[in-house]
Amino acid sequence: MMVCQSNRPENQISGLTAEFLVQAKLASLKYNSKIHDDVFDIYVPASRCHIEVKSCSFNYKTDNYGFAFRHTQLVVGAFDYAVLIAFNKNGNYLDYRSFIVPQEVIIESIIANVERPTLNINLTGKNRAVNQHIVEECEDNWHKLLYKPRSLKSQKTRYAKKILKNRDKRYLVNHPQVKITKGPRTTRCSFTNGWLWECVCCGYSTKKVPHMEQHLNQKSMRKSRVTGKRCMGLKK
């Protein structure tokens, strides 16, 4: 049997495969779709949904999946949803996990890298600080792409607000007792390694959200080993 080999780069093969997988999934849900090789990849006429497809294989160095976007794709309204196809470690393109993410969430969660904006997600469960709100809220939500045209935008807005509310709760955003700042060597705008969570009452700081949660929930307000101050929490 003759085996045909492609001269395309690996990233092009995985990208095309991801687009075909998305179209196949939509077809299984009885929705037609069209390839649109522009700012977005796929258009669904029935819902008037503009979809950008991104694919990535597992990065063994970081334990993350990194989905790269173009700057033109970060302009508000460039597409409705991104479908992130994360191929599993075994190299089989039919073995993958999918995440349906509104563009608003992509913009809020992406790394601010001037040359190549990248969205990192972690599927191992080890690193809580790498966009776990996307993993929890967005996996296999294909029905989000298929609302009627008149309700697609409003449903997308509600969905995005729910995801970002989960993020704010998970990472203690807007918590009155917590100040979040970048570390000295951090150039990222998403909550990844390098960020600092600081207690405004006693000055205790940590790079790990669970440690800050433990500090906030401690029953006996002991002195901080770092600052030597006793944290009494916020005055009610």
Confidence of residue 80 (pLDDT cuts 50, 70, 90): very high
pLDDT, residue 135, reads: 87
Instruction: Extract long-range pairs of 167-174: CB within 8 Å, 24+ residues apart.
Output: 167/108, 167/109, 167/131, 167/133, 167/191, 170/128, 170/132, 170/133, 170/209, 171/129, 171/209, 172/197, 172/209, 172/212, 172/213, 172/216
- The predicted-structure confidence for 168-217, as pLDDT tens digits, reads as follows 888 888 888 888 886 554 444 455 556 788 888 888 888 888 888 888 88
Total-model pTM: 0.78
> Mean pLDDT over residues 104-113, rounded?
78
Q: What are the DSSP calls for 64-87, one per residue?
A: BEEEE--GGGGSTTS-SEEEEEEE
- Kindly report which listed range (19-28, 82-91, 137-146, 221-230) carries the lowest average pLDDT score: 221-230
Confidence of residue 222 (pLDDT cuts 50, 70, 90): low
At which residue do the structure tokens 């600092």 appear?
Answer: 196
Domains and CATH numbers, the chain: 10-170 (3.40.1350.10), 172-236 (no CATH)
Rounded CA-CA distance 139/146 in Å is 15
